[in-house]
Chain A
Amino acid sequence: MTQAVEMLGITKTFPGVVANDHIDFSAAKSETHGLLGENGAGKTVLMSILYGLYRPDSGRIMVDGEEIRMDSPATAIRHGIGMVHQHFMLVPSLTVAENVVLGNEVTRSRVVLDTKRASDEVRVFSERCNLKVDPDAPVHTLTVGVQQRVEIIKALHRGAEILILDEPTAILTPQEVEELMKAIRALKAQGKTVIFISHKLREVLSICDRVTVLKKGRLVGTVKTGETSLSQLATMMVDRQVLEVFKKKTVQGAGAVLNVEDLQAVDDRGLPALKGITFDISVSEILGLAGVEGNGQSELVEALTGLRRVRGGRILLNKIDITAASPEKRIRLGVSHVPADRNREGLIPDFSVMENLILGSQSEEPFARRHTVLDYGAASRYADGLIADYSISTPGRETPVRNLSGGTQQRVVLAREFSRNPKLIIAYQPTRGLDIGATEYVRGKLVEMRDNGCAVLLISADLDEIRALSDRIAVIFEGRIVALKDPKKTDEEELGLLMAGGKVD
């Protein structure tokens, strides 16, 4: 089989991160090839290198057997590579035809735009590709799915033979996904190569011929979809680390700390993300929530911390209804939150370590006198204490957290969240991006807090982490809890299958 595109030994580092580590990738003519991996696995970086947006540190790129120096998107386009980004690059006020011909406009005597001819040309072209659109419709009147189709037509119109789709289904409704799948099959029939970036197992399995799986910047492997299964892909994709066994005290559960009843919420696009979630967590219990990213986890965390309004259901904390309480109120009642993206949600990077440590308590005694004037003396003593207790390696409490390493930043978050006597800890991907040492520290702290009586909701895509720490495991899939398991009575295969939406008898 001749490869339409081949990437050999691609390495790309960003300051502090190896985004791609000697990755080999290839796709054949008229193949639909899935590129699978968690967020941060390096999928988009790899494809951005193919599209000329990033220069690799090392490695070679071949198109139709010829080595190409891919130094810009213009070069990539010249060699028949097109990319549809997650964020569309369309001009909303222009028509479909105008958007498609943008950059090589159809003109009369090189000056006057010939919109009529452009429109006809785009109509004929789109029909030939089996991707129907109205060339005269202004783009802003179109649904997201149709806008995506316009992007695909635009790429094909520029001569793309190899089409990269970056998480194309992330923004689509189920019906639109069906339409897209049809379009991809049509492209395949025309001999186009489609590279389909996704972290949704089912879609990849249903549309692709082969799948390449990446994890933390490394190649896990390439498999034919006919010779693999949901659970195999799930276990290839999620993280497995050598982990130490945590010794947990056996504690008698003394009633539920958190009750979540039939919780419903929509995502940022207004589509249902939580479709009736019910669970509870007791004193001294870690509930692990396993799931492939994008199945409602972030909406659940936001609903529990008060950052997202819910459409239905109730949240009870120690029997108090907090469904409509503000984030501030929930913090007072003992909800601590270790967010997934600490730099965006957990910390104020330009603030000092001390200022970050008092976030949320800034108007409370002893840090504020009469809720108005900050007491830097008290804040300093408190900060110095936490810096010692949590071994936060910083030049001093005045250092901006921006200047600290990822692991140290996470210690700042933990120190703040764990030291205000929480009843419930919501830990969302608490070890993502941390090295082994920092990971062990965070996990140890979570267990310690549990042993001291906290209820912990641990949300992670890392199955080993979930299994090592949890007292119970819940599996979330498409906004529903699909299973509750005892970690001792389940295994990776079963969890992988459940995470992928499979049924277990």
Chain B
Amino acid sequence: MTEMGEGGHREIGLSPRLLAEIRSGLMRMLPQVIAVVAAFIVGAVVLAVTGYDPVDAYAMMLRGAFGDIYGIGQTLTKATPIIFTALAFLFAMKSGLFNIGAEGQLVIGAFAAALVGISFDGLPALIHVPLALLAGALAGGAWGFIPAVLKAKLGAHEVITTMMLSYVATYLTSYMVNYPFKAPGWVAQTVPLDPSAQLPRILPPTQLSASFIIAIILVALTYIILQKTTLGYEVRASGLNPVAAESGGINVKRTMIIALVVSGAMAGLGGAGEVMGVHDRFIEGFSPGYGWDGLAVALVGGLHPVGVVIAAILFGALRSGGMTMTRVTHVPLDIVVILQSLVIIFVAAPMLIRYLLRWREHKG
């Protein structure tokens, strides 16, 4: 870091800044990389002890996840909603809020998108698709707005309120697709979306849809908002030191409300993408816990937008590669859950310890 001389070329702009950013990013990811390696080592021991060949299992998992176009497509498909929820968690976290309700924001966003998708017959796709996406984002944003206002006005802790609202979203949509909006048949789901509201598949025959592209755009947008805009500056300042931010003229409460609304909108957009790109309808219980995976992925990704993509792909690969592994080697799929949990433990434990230490420092 010492080569920051007074060289005039620094005025020109980004490249040294960007380089430094990349270097520090890699350094920051190091604990995460070590955690992932450690998780796989412990996983190998578990496999060996239970009588399976770890090398064989991992090879199959790798081949399943990245071995061919189909595998890659499925990996990215599984990673897509997690990118959205991880960004949602990350954005709120940067403002100092612990949004653990991404699951509910995703589900309510998905349902709102589905409603728009099955209504408005005959709308051109150019309008119908953005409208449905917008509905998803708005619904998710509204689900973030409620706890944000409760926090700002009454001091209600967002961990409680976002989680509670998550259940409200799950059961509310469950009621909706079991009664008013239930499609004929046994399954609790809506009728299919109008084709004009469906996102195109970008890697047939896999389920990978344009939602993945939206996710990547959102990653870039998140980075730009946080680093290059006034809003991002205020969000980060509020998260790092709310007292100094307030004293320095930032309206911390308003900033937190905006951050949580944006966070909810991100998760809601992810839900819309699932409905419009993968399932083509709202199905009860379509999310196997993407919101929670998002929390883990945001932490594994070191709370950095790019890290989030890498971590989400890792989690997606575990899911899709695990399927192949089970089919070929008869290793039970549970090993995937074990691996995921190990990664989270190895990543979260040092982060938690560091967080607690800083907390003590602040108190002292």
Q: Considering the chains assembled together, what is the distance between the CA atoms of A339 and B10 in angstroms?
A: 33
Interface string of A348-368 (1 = CB under 8 A from B): 111100010001101100001
Within B243-266, which residues are at the interface with A (CB < 8 Å)? 243-251
A342 → chain B closest CB, angstroms = 9
Question: Closest chain A residue to B231 by CB distance?
Answer: A372
How far is B246's CA from A359's CA once the two chains are assembled, in angstroms?
10
**Is the pair B1, A395 in contact by a Cβ cutoff of 8 Å?**
yes
Q: Cα distance A328–B174 when bound, in Å?
A: 45
Residue of B10, B13, B231, B240 touching A348 (CB-CB under 8 A): B240
Q: How far is the CA of A230 from the CA of B236 in the complex (A)?
A: 48
Q: Which of B230, B236, B248 contacts A372 (CB 8 A)?
A: B230
Q: Does A483 reach chain B (CB closer than 8 Å)?
A: no
Which residues of A (331-379) have their CB < 8 Å from a CB of B? 331-332, 337, 339, 344-351, 355, 359-360, 362-363, 368, 371-374, 376-377
Name the A residues within 8 Å of B247 (CB-CB). 305, 307, 327, 337, 339, 345-346
A373 pairs with B228, CB closer than 8 A: yes
Cβ contacts under 8 Å, A58 to chain B: none
- The residues in A between 374 and 401 inclusive whose CB is less than 8 angstroms from any CB of B are 374, 376-377, 380-381, 384, 395-396, 398-399
Residues of B within 8 A of A348 (CB): 237, 240-241, 244-245
Chain B 7-21 against A: per-residue CB contact (8 Å), 1 yes, 0 no? 000110100010010
Q: Contacts of B248 on A, CB cut-off 8 Å? A: 327, 331, 359-360
Instruction: Tell yes or no: B217 within 8 A of A by CB.
Output: no
Choice from B2, B13, B228, B240 contacting A350 with Cβ under 8 Å: B240
Q: A359-B244, A363-B230 are in contact. Are A398 and B249 (CB under 8 A)?
A: no
- Once the chains are docked, how many angstroms separate the CA of A330 from the CA of B240? 23
Complex Cα distance, B251 from A331, in Å, reads 12
Docked-complex contact B230 and A347, CB < 8 angstroms: no
Interchain CB contact under 8 A, A326 and B251: yes
Whether B237 pairs with A359 at a CB distance below 8 angstroms is yes
Q: How far is the CA of A346 from the CA of B233 in the complex (A)?
A: 16
Q: How far is the CA of A355 from the CA of B17 in the complex (A)?
A: 14
Q: B244: which of A328, A344, A376, A381 is its contact (CB, 8 Å)?
A: A344
With a CB–CB cut-off of 8 A, which chain B residues contact A332? 249
A396 to B241, CA, bound (A): 22
Asked whether, in the complex, the Cβ of A345 is within 8 Å of the Cβ of B240, the reply is: no
Give the residues in chain A near B13, CB-CB below 8 Å.
377
Tell me if B4 and A396 are in contact (CB < 8 A): yes
Q: Which single member of A327, A349, A359, A398 contacts B4 (CB below 8 Å)?
A: A398
Chain B positions within 8 Å of A371 at CB level:
230
Would you give the shortest CB distance from B280 to chain A, in whole angstroms?
37
A377 engages B230 (CB within 8 Å): no
Find the residue from A307, A339, A347, A348 having the highest chain B CB count within 10 A. A348
By a CB distance below 8 angstroms, the chain A residues around B228 are: 373-374, 376
CB of A327 within 8 A of CB of B229, answer: no
How far, in angstroms, from A363 to B1 measured CA to CA in the complex? 29
CB distance from A233 to the nearest CB of B (A): 29
Contact A344 B229 (CB under 8 A): no
Q: Is the interface of B mostly helix, strand, loop or mixed?
A: helix
Size of the chain A interface, CB-CB below 8 angstroms = 37
A457 CB → nearest B CB, Å:
16
- Taking CB as reference atom, which chain A residue is nearest B245? A348
**A327 surroundings in chain B (CB, below 8 A):** 246-249
In the bound complex, CA of A368 to CA of B232 (Å): 12
Bound Cα distance from A307 to B244, whole angstroms: 11
Give the distance in Å from the alpha carbon of A360 to the alpha carbon of B2 in the complex: 29
**One of B17, B233, B246 near A362 (C-beta < 8 A):** B233
- How many angstroms from the CA of A380 to the CA of B243 in the assembled complex? 25
B251 neighbours in A (Cβ, 8 Å)? 326, 328
CB distance from A272 to the nearest CB of B (A): 23
Chain B, residues 146-186, CB within 8 Å of chain A (1/0): the string is: 00000000000000000000000000000000000000000
Contacts of A395 in B (CB 8 A): 1-2, 4
CB distance from B247 to the nearest CB of A (A): 5
User: Which of B1, B17, B241 is the one whose CB lies under 8 Å from A349?
Assistant: B241
Whether A344 lies near B243 (C-beta < 8 A) is: yes
Could you say which of A349, A362, A363, A372 has the most chain B C-beta atoms within 10 Å of its C-beta?
A: A362
Measured between alpha carbons, how far is A217 from B19 in the docked complex, in Å?
Answer: 46
Q: Report Cα–Cα, A307/B6, bound state, in Å.
A: 39
Which residue of chain A is the closest to B16 with respect to CB atoms?
A398
Q: Are the C-beta atoms of B1 and A331 separated by less than 8 Å?
A: no
Given contacts A327-B249, A337-B247, contact A344 B241 (CB under 8 A): yes
Complex Cα spacing A372 to B236, Å:
15
Q: A399 to B247: give the CA distance in the assembly, Å.
A: 22
A373 engages B229 (CB within 8 Å): yes
- Docked Cα-Cα span, A355 to B228, in Å, equals 12
Indicate whether B284 reaches chain A with its CB closer than 8 angstroms: no
Q: Which residue on A lies nearest to B247, using beta carbons?
A: A345
Alpha-carbon separation in the docked complex, A28 to B240 (Å): 48
Find out whether the CB atom of B246 lies under 8 angstroms from the CB atom of A351: no
Q: B293 within 8 Å of A by Cβ?
A: no
A34–chain B nearest beta-carbon distance, Å: 25
B194 interface residue, CB < 8 Å from A?
Answer: no
Residue-wise interface mask of B (104-128) relative to A, using a CB-CB cutoff of 8 A (1 in contact, 0 not): 0000000000000000000000000
**Residues from chain A with Cβ under 8 Å of B237 in the complex:** 348, 351, 355, 359, 362
Interface string of B216-246 (1 = CB under 8 A from A): 0000000000001111111011001101111
Chain A minimum-CB-distance residue to B5: A396
Bound state CA distance, A360 and B232, in angstroms? 14
- How far is the CB of A335 from the nearest CB of chain B, in Å? 10
A362 touches B230 (CB 8 A): yes
Partner of B229, one of A347, A351, A355, A372: A372
Proximity bits, B251-290, A CB within 8 Å = 1, else 0: 1000000000000000000000000000000000000000
A-B pairs with beta carbons under 8 Å apart, 30 shown: A326-B251, A327-B247, A327-B248, A327-B249, A328-B251, A330-B249, A331-B248, A331-B249, A344-B244, A345-B244, A346-B247, A348-B237, A348-B241, A349-B240, A349-B241, A350-B240, A351-B237, A351-B240, A355-B233, A360-B248, A360-B249, A360-B250, A363-B234, A368-B230, A372-B229, A372-B230, A373-B229, A384-B6, A395-B2, A398-B20
Q: Identify the 5 closest CB pairs spanning chains A and B, nearest first.
A: A396-B4, A360-B249, A359-B248, A328-B249, A331-B249
Which B residues lie at the A interface, using CB under 8 A?
1-2, 4, 6, 10-11, 13, 17, 20, 228-234, 236-237, 240-241, 243-251
Interface of A with B (CB < 8 Å)? 305, 307, 326-328, 330-332, 337, 339, 344-351, 355, 359-360, 362-363, 368, 371-374, 376-377, 380-381, 384, 395-396, 398-399
- Taking A359-B244, A376-B17 as known contacts, 14 extra A-B pairs with beta carbons closer than 8 A to each other, sorted by chain A number, are A307-B247, A327-B249, A328-B251, A332-B249, A345-B244, A359-B249, A360-B248, A360-B250, A363-B230, A372-B229, A373-B228, A373-B229, A373-B230, A374-B228
